[in-house]
């Protein structure tokens, strides 16, 4: 009799166990160091974390964005993303053979500086079928919104020596893939399952005063650029090192001046802008007048980054370039 009860209890334990543990999406493991740590299976959980659901639905396997949807979170100066990382599981992302604006290019996540007009950004996108090798990833960080350079970029094309495409072999509708991405002034890391790619940067990083983080879409929620897939098990981590630019004190010891931190130090007098412009090479000045293609841009940055990786020097831009690029003289170059 006792043995029979034991088997009944054992059977119940197993059946309850299978009901309690979702078969595909396991609850995310949080260790308390996260800015966000969510399994993304309910709207109330997202809203409780401060997330604004622009469009999408939830089920036990996670969140799927609608067209022009996604989820936005906003962070103030108290959260410093100058270095950070994200982990998220993505199920059912497919290599859709459509043009860039028709679902061929989709966003895994975006970070944008705020208030509106800030030029800091980070983005991870699955690129269109006609972009380089097709259905590859581009993970880029920029702080000046200029198309002629990145602060750091990983492009998973064959040209860049770190090849990964979701069409080679094609991802399937039942596949869940794990994304891990890191950024800092030292560069970027992108890991998809067992694939890993790293890149140095030019020393600039994502450090706007206010930040917007958008999951599964671009910050601007462009039509057909949401990732049509289930997102689950999100972990977002911020370095939370002390913020200098934005603390209402102009600190020369941290490299702040009217160029690098007008928020604290005030806008530069006009003659300083003129001095900066006169120091630029003719080529750099012309660059601002032309619409350069993404490809030219990426090649130039890649060459710059790889040449730095090859040298024994730290991956920082030459002082002049860094200063002009890193501050708000960017409008002069547009």
Which one of 264, 301, 304, 327 is in contact with Ca ion (CB under 5 A)?
Answer: 264
Determine the interface stretch with Ca ion among 60-68, 158-166, 198-206, 271-279 (rule: CB under 5 A): 198-206
- Shortest Å, Cβ 270 to Ca ion: 23
Determine the interface stretch with Ca ion among 107-115, 146-154, 156-164, 190-198 (rule: CB under 5 A): 146-154
d(CA 293, CA 72): 29
Determine the interface stretch with Ca ion among 109-117, 139-147, 173-181, 293-301 (rule: CB under 5 A): 139-147
CB 259 within 8 A of CB 328: yes
Inter-CA distances, 318 with 28, 70, 284, Å: 42, 38, 14
Which residue bears the tokens 């409008």? 331
* Region 304-333 residues binding Ca ion, contact defined as CB under 5 A: 325
Q: Nearer to Ca ion by C-beta: 89 or 298?
A: 298
- Shortest Å, Cβ 304 to Ca ion: 11
- Shortest Å, Cβ 28 to Ca ion: 33
* Interaction pattern, residues 62-101, with Ca ion; x per rule: CB under 5 A: ----------------------------------------
- Shortest Å, Cβ 244 to Ca ion: 4
Residues 6 or more apart whose Cβ sits within 8 Å of residue 42: 58
Which one of 151, 182, 207, 304 is in contact with Ca ion (CB under 5 A)?
Answer: 151
Position 118 contacts Ca ion (CB under 5 A): no
CB 121 within 8 A of CB 194: no
Helix, strand or coil for residue 279?
helix
Which residue bears the tokens 């002049």? 320
Can you give 307-328 as a three-state secondary structure string? HHHHCCCCCCCCHHHHHHHHCC
- Residue 193's CB is within 10 A of a number of other CB atoms, namely 12
Position 204 contacts Ca ion (CB under 5 A): yes
Interface with Ca ion: number of residues (CB under 5 A): 13
Q: Nearer to Ca ion by C-beta: 87 or 142?
A: 142
- Shortest Å, Cβ 256 to Ca ion: 5
- Shortest Å, Cβ 199 to Ca ion: 14
Nearest by Cα to 206 from 188, 224, 226, 231: 188
Q: Are strands 230-238 and 36-38 parallel, antiparallel or unpaired?
A: antiparallel
Position 218 contacts Ca ion (CB under 5 A): no
Which one of 34, 87, 144, 207 is in contact with Ca ion (CB under 5 A)?
Answer: 144
Position 220 contacts Ca ion (CB under 5 A): no
CA angle 27, 29, 31 (to 5 degrees): 150
Which one of 142, 182, 298, 304 is in contact with Ca ion (CB under 5 A)?
Answer: 142
Burial of 88: CB neighbours in 10 Å, binned 0-12, 13-18, 19+: buried
Determine the interface stretch with Ca ion among 96-104, 148-156, 157-165, 187-195 (rule: CB under 5 A): 148-156
Rg (CA), the chain: 22
Rule CB under 5 A: which residues touch Ca ion? 142-144, 146, 149, 151, 204, 244, 247, 249, 251, 264, 325
């Amino acid at each position: 009799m006792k043995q029979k009860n034991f088997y009944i209890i054992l059977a119940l334990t197993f059946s309850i166990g299978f009901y309690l543990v979702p078969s595909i999406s396991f609850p995310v493991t949080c260790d308390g160091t996260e800015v966000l740590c969510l399994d993304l299976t309910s709207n109330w959980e997202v809203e409780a974390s401060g997330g604004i659901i622009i469009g999408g639905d939830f089920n036990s396997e996670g969140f799927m964005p609608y067209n022009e949807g996604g989820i936005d979170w906003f962070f103030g100066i108290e959260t410093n993303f100058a270095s950070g990382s994200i982990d998220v599981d993505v199920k059912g992302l497919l290599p859709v053979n459509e043009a860039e604006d028709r679902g061929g290019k989709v966003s895994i996540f975006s970070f944008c500086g705020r208030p509106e007009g800030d030029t800091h950004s980070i983005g991870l996108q699955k690129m269109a079928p006609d972009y380089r090798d097709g259905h590859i990833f581009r993970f880029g960080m920029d702080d000046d919104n200029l198309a002629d350079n990145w602060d750091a970029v990983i492009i998973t094309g064959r040209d860049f020596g770190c090849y990964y495409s979701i069409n080679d072999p094609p991802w399937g509708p039942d596949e869940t893939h794990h994304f891990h991405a890191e950024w800092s002034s030292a560069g970027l890391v992108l890991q998809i399952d067992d694939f890993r790619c790293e890149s140095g940067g030019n020393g600039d990083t994502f450090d706007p005063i206010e930040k917007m983080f958008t999951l599964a879409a671009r910050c601007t929620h462009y039509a057909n650029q949401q990732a049509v897939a289930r997102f689950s098990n999100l972990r977002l981590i911020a370095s939370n090192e002390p913020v200098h630019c934005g603390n209402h004190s102009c600190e020369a010891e941290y490299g702040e001046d009217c160029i690098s931190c007008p928020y604290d130090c005030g806008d530069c007098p006009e003659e300083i802008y003129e001095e900066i412009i006169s120091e630029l090479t003719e080529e750099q000045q012309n660059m601002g007048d032309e619409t350069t293609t993404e490809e030219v841009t990426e090649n130039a940055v890649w060459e710059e980054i790889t040449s730095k990786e090859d040298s024994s020097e730290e991956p920082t831009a030459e002082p002049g370039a860094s200063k002009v690029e890193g501050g708000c003289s960017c409008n002069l170059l547009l």
